[in-house]
Amino acid sequence: MSKGNKSKIDNLGRVVIPKSIRKALGIEQNDEISMYVEDNKLIISKGFKSCSLCGNTEVNYQLNDKLLCKSCVEGIKGL
Ligand SMILES: [Zn+2]
C-alpha cells in the first residue's frame, strides 16, 4: 500500500481521495464510503459499516466477519 499520498483538507472539511487509491479500492463516483476513527486514525472504507444486529453505524466490535455495536454487545453480555 502506498504511503506517499498527501492531501489537504479544504475549508469545508473536504479531502480528495487520490485516483490511485480510488482505483486500488474500486471506488467510483457516487459510491458510498464510510469513515470512522480507529486507534486515532481516520479509516475510510468502501461500503457502509454497521452493526450486524441492529444496523447502528457506530460499530465498536468485530466478531469473525460480524460487526457489532456497543449496545448489542452489552445486551448479549446480559443474556
Ligand atoms: Zn447493534
Per run of 10 residues, the mean pLDDT along the chain (length 79 residues) is 76 92 88 84 81 88 90 95
The whole-number pLDDT of residue 12 equals: 96
Give the H/E segment covering residue 60.
strand 59-63
Rounded to the nearest whole angstrom, what is the distance from the C-alpha of residue 53 to the centroid of ligand 1? 5
- Domain spans, the chain: 1-48, 50-79
Q: Could you tell me the distance, in angstroms and rounded to a whole number, from the CA of residue 78 to the centre of ligand 1?
A: 14
Q: What is the pLDDT of residue 75?
A: 96
Out of 2.10.260.10, 3.40.190.10, 3.30.450.20, 3.40.50.2300, select the CATH number for domain 1-48.
2.10.260.10
Question: pTM surpassing 0.75?
Answer: no
Rounded-to-integer distance, Cα 66 and Cα 72, Å = 12
Measured in Å, residue 4 CA sits from the centre of ligand 1 at 36
13 CA distance to ligand 1 middle (Å): 29
Tell me the CA–centroid distance for residue 71 and ligand 1, in Å: 6
pLDDT for the residue numbered 3: 62
Secondary structure (3-state) at 71: helix
Residue given cell 487520490 in the structure block? 18
